[in-house]
Chain A
Amino acid sequence: MKLKKSVSGLVTLVLLGSALAACGSNNNNASSPSASGSASPSSSASASPSGSNSKQEIVMNYRADPPALDVSIAESSASFTILGAISEGLYRLDKDLQPQPALADGMPEISADGLTYTIKLKQGLTWADGSPLTAKDFVYSYQRTLDPATKASYAFMVAWIKGGENLMNAKKPEEVEKYKKELGVEAKDDTTLVITLENPVPFFTSQLAFLNFYPQNEKFVSAQGEKSGADADKVLGAGPFKLTKWDHEQQLVLEKNDKYWDAANVKLNKVTLNIVKDPTTGVNLYKTGATDYADVKGDFLKEYEGKPDLAVKKELTTGYLNFQQTKVPAFANAKVRQAFSMAVDREGLVNLVLQNGSIPSTGIVPVGNLDGNGKQFREVVGDTEVAFDAAKAKSLLAEGLAESGQTLPKNLSIIGDDTETGKKVLEYLVSQWSTNLGVNVTAEPLPHANRLDRELGKNYNIVNTLWGADYNDPMTWLDMFIKGSPFNTQDWNNDEYTTLIKGAQKELDLAKRAEMLANAEKLLLSEAAVSPMYFRSSTFLVNPKLKDLILPPYGPDFELKWAHVE
């Protein structure tokens, strides 16, 4: 009896012990699991953030752990957001999306052919560790991003620099070295950087504000090896903040960088970012005052309607449909596509389904996007999309089918993401086509990766998809639909359109270029080659006392430099 008892006691111990032993290597860390819980110096997270006003400290929810805080490797908006706070490029976009000189001393000197950018750096710049920051750090950064060994998935952005394509595609080490030397970026002296482009890029100055064009400290980065950007002590920036703590999947802490050139205008002393993946939990935390910033969606939105906490971010993101013309020959007829596009009431879509401040589309280029000539594209071009008209849609469909001699296949389907909203959008579209057009379409929601695979593989009838601007110029939208573009998955081939876009790519006169792009969009939409649905917005809860937190429409999630607590 006694023996049996002690044996079973032992069994329990062993079982628990084995579970513990499985993570035995954790003990290398200074703190045991329970100790890390009570000893973590995160009292600010549990204290109400509003209580720390005078200290200029804020707490924010963040939806994901940033993958890597390395300028070359980073490709997600999470990395971009954090790196934007701890580092900086030659320029920084202000709240109106205008590039303001950051590490650069002034605006670039651009050659007449639009290819060569000569940029003066500020005097006496330093990295957060106090070491000097020079033009060479930019040269190193661009070379490293394009070096195939770095495996940078966004390298193609930097490949606009002359010789970039060659370097990115280099196979042998000696080729890499050769192309690195030939790359069109040069440090004339410590404070003069000269960048030569392959083709003129009218919005290149704004682009220099983006992550891919940040400098990197060669000594520091190469000392980290493959671990560059993996932990708080493996990141070095020259931005308004320093990363002082990074507890993966849990918390990041940013503290003011006193060595930053514009430290006088950085008011926040500390920003604590807690990783919160569930939006409901995020709102719960906001309600208890445990955070100053949270994502908010769906039913919670109604609760906050009209309150000062609610912030709407109008994104440079368009939700649209593509009609595959090879798989469904009827879609090769413009009238049939127009009918499908015209049969959807977009007001209903944003008011009944999306309910997040998104607005009905009036073209493919969203509201807020510039036209490449300093004006708002939508204001200049106006509405290019046909308005909702159920009766006209029905007659157009009949006309188009008769004209082309095609019929619609019986099992027409639409694919899209299987997110909560994604599924509702598909259902809405299906019901619109059924009521207004008398056409039965099956909704086929798919996991994101699967949807993308089928879309790019042109294996669909209709696809509900999204595109977000990579840069603030109509080209990021319009070059997708030229002949042979991998994103022209609907097989719409229009020579006039392709000529317009290719011409605009070479055009140096910005006014002329903007006009060509405007004409291209008009053509794209009059043909209903794509069927835009909405310009996306997203919604956040922001503590009304937190001022000047910028929510940029593309790129990073938020811009912290000018934020402060009132």
Chain B
Amino acid sequence: MLKYALRRFFYMLVTLWVIITLTFFLMKLLPGNPFGEGAAKLTPENLQILREQYGLDKPVWQQYLKYMGNVLQGDLGISYQYPTRSVVSVIQHSFKASLELGLESLVFAILIGLLLGIYAALRHNKVGDYTAMLIAIIGISVPSFVVGPLLSYFVGVKWGILPPGLWTGPEHRILPALALSFGTIAILARMMRASMLDVANQDYIKTAKSKGLSSGKIINSHMIRNAILPVITILGPIAVNVVTGTLVVERIFAVPGLGSQFVSSIVSNDYTMITGLTLFYAAILIIVLFITDIAYGLVDPRIRLGKGR
């Protein structure tokens, strides 16, 4: 087991290194310079002075070696867009909101998604089933950049129930979390429904029925409990997805998160920020996948190759 974990860990480091190297060199192919909106006014001489000051006049491989050296010491550099803030501090600051938004949307998704899935399975092939699955399909096919503005306009402006944007009080959390959870609701509902139907055909359910247990009890303690297992295993990757994929929703609801940082860093050629954020996102994904791999191995020994040694 330990050997397996170590090997996975080694792969993880290699993957991160490949990602950061590719990002670094691809990013250097972007046209333009990282010196912000004032750069349009700089003469070539002034630009050259700035390039020298930031070491951007050196060959790319030298810049790469220097950058990698810093990364190994945990230093992701200073952002070009925010010349007084380090990339690490920007990530620390902005990730808070993204994480909170992601987790809140996950709560919505789990609550609504699972209920919808269970309901559909219990009404299998009846109107309730079709309605629930129709909602799920809509949820999957309507992207958040459509749902978001609709929620913001109707709930926020037209009906005036909740604020249409900003991130100051608890009431500001509901709409963005809901908008972000739409896709996840659909995934979870469909998975839960399939899993429930699967369980419903198992022998032990028939046994329970023949024992004369009430259907409520069967659903509660036999069906849902068993059906939820596969759903739980995908929650990890889904959580990562939701936490890191909040770009559009963040913009629509003026949430001070990390997603918008990513776009603005690319648009403004903020080299250190681009690599820093890529590294951060990649690390989260890879770490979660790593833990998932290990956890699968724990749960199901068949996955562990070369087991028992």
Query: Within 8 Å of chain A (Cβ to Cβ): is B236?
Result: yes
- Bound-state Cα–Cα, A479 to B192, Å: 69
User: Chain A: which residue is nearest B96 at the CB level?
Assistant: A33
Q: A19-B284, A449-B32 are in contact. Are A250 and B83 (CB under 8 A)?
A: no
Distance in Å: Cβ of A18 to nearest Cβ of chain B:
6
Query: Within 8 Å of chain A (Cβ to Cβ): is B93?
Result: yes
With an 8 Å Cβ cutoff, the count of chain A residues facing the other chain is 78
- Bound-state Cα–Cα, A68 to B160, Å: 36
Q: Which residues of B contact A14 (CB under 8 A)?
A: 236, 291, 295
- Bound-state Cα–Cα, A162 to B267, Å: 37
B267 touches A46 (CB 8 A): no
A249 touches B168 (CB 8 A): no
Interface size class of B (residues with CB under 8 A): 35 or more
B38 touches A75 (CB 8 A): yes
Instruction: Identify the B interface with A (CB < 8 A).
Output: 30-33, 35-44, 46, 49-50, 53-54, 78, 81-85, 90, 92-97, 99-100, 102-103, 149, 152-153, 156-157, 160, 163-173, 225, 229, 232-233, 235-236, 239-240, 243, 251-254, 256-257, 260-261, 267-269, 280, 283-284, 287-288, 291-292, 295, 298-299
A-B Cβ contacts below 8 A, count: 230
B166 touches A276 (CB 8 A): yes
Leading 7 A-B pairs by shortest Cβ distance: A449-B32, A15-B236, A75-B38, A249-B256, A230-B84, A250-B256, A284-B164
B152 touches A281 (CB 8 A): yes
- Bound-state Cα–Cα, A14 to B233, Å: 11
Given A9-B232, A68-B85, 14 extra CB contacts under 8 A: A11-B236, A18-B291, A38-B169, A45-B168, A46-B169, A46-B171, A68-B82, A155-B46, A156-B42, A227-B84, A249-B94, A250-B168, A274-B254, A275-B254
Q: A22-B284, A45-B168, A151-B83 are in contact. Are A276 and B236 (CB under 8 A)?
A: no
Instruction: Bits for A279-292, please: 1 = Cβ < 8 Å to B, else 0.
Output: 01110110110100
B163 touches A70 (CB 8 A): no
Within 8 A of B (CB), among A427-454: 447-450, 452-454
Do most interface residues of chain B lie in helix, strand or loop, or is the interface mixed? helix
Q: A229-B84, A248-B94 are in contact. Are A450 and B31 (CB under 8 A)?
A: yes
Distance in Å: Cβ of A397 to nearest Cβ of chain B:
31
Instruction: Identify the A interface with B (CB < 8 A).
Output: 4-5, 7-12, 14-16, 18-20, 22-23, 25-26, 33-34, 36-38, 40, 42-43, 45-46, 65, 67-68, 70, 73, 75-77, 148, 151, 153-156, 168-169, 226-230, 234, 247-251, 274-278, 280-282, 284-285, 287-288, 290, 447-450, 452-454, 456, 470, 486
Q: Which residues of A contact B168 (CB under 8 A)?
A: 37, 40, 42, 45-46, 250-251, 274
User: Chain B: which residue is nearest A278 at the CB level?
Assistant: B251
B96 touches A67 (CB 8 A): no
Q: Which residues of A contact B251 (CB under 8 A)?
A: 277-278, 281
- Bound-state Cα–Cα, A470 to B40, Å: 12
Contact check: which of B33, B82, B284 meets A67 at CB < 8 Å?
B82
